[in-house]
Amino acid sequence: MLGPQCCENPPVLNPLSGSGHVEKLGGLDAYVSGSPDSKKCVLLVSDIYGYEAPNLRALADKVAASGFYVVVPDYFYGDPYDPSHQERPVHVWMKDHGPDKGFEDTKPVLEAIKNKGITAIGAAGMCWGGKVVVELSKQELIQAAVLLHPTYVTVDDIKGVKVPIAILGAEDDFLTPPALVKQFEEILASKPEVSSYVKIFLNVSHGWTTRYDINDLEAVKAAEEAHKEMLDWFVTYVK
């Protein structure tokens, strides 16, 4: 169930942000960054605010600088959640933009990526995107997964994971609280055939990896620590 934390600290969207560009991939607009000649791709699945969030695009550029072709699809077809539209609260918006639809929309995107000659794909999901990525990992449609302060992910989801997965949780998270993240860790520990890494970051809240104030040095530092963990995971498992 979504709560207030899901919507806190909304970004100021900017379609011109980032050093990459937007193109059509698998029927969706997508922000892409990095060399199209790379054989390795990272798919970033956004939170409810979508693919024009400057911090998310900056993260895409950072991952691209490490040699990955990075794709950030517009899963919401130009209709990200807008908290100023009080007549359309998030639970109503979700009826049009459930993560189940996001999962289905990802399949042709993955095919389009492979058609570029890419042979290994990792995916990271933030909040809403975490549910999309865990579904991809259950069906082995990707080579590695990272969940960052995910929403909707259940114990049964984690039981079904079949690819290397890292889960980065927040100490202050009512959507996926530390107790649930610990359950995820215990389940993954019982699956030695699946490489896993689980960490709860202290003194941070849900959304800290992308919805931070760039002028808050402590917030930036905490986000960058998580970004490094994510990137290290992909460097290890997306080859």
Q: Which residues pair with 22 in a beta bridge?
A: 31
44-58 burial by CB neighbour count: b if 16+ within 10 A, else e?
bbbbbbbbbbbbbbb
- Alpha-carbon distance values, 43 to 33, 69, 92, 225, 238 (Å): 11, 9, 27, 19, 11
What pLDDT was estimated at residue 160? 98
pLDDT for 8 beyond 90: no
pLDDT of amino acid 1: 52
Q: Which residue has the higher pLDDT, 36 or 152?
A: 152
Residue 2 — very low, low, confident or very high, per pLDDT cuts 50/70/90? low
Q: Taking a C-beta distance cutoff of 8 angstroms, is the pair 140, 163 a contact?
A: yes
Over residues 15-62, the pLDDT tens digits come to 999 999 999 999 999 999 999 899 999 999 999 999 999 999 999 999
The predicted model scores a pTM of 0.97
- Residues facing 40 on adjacent strands: 120
| CA dist., res. 18 & res. 13, Å (int) | 11
Assign 3 a pLDDT band (cuts: 50, 70, 90).
Answer: low
Closest CA to 108 of 174, 25, 39: 25
Average pLDDT (206-232) is 97
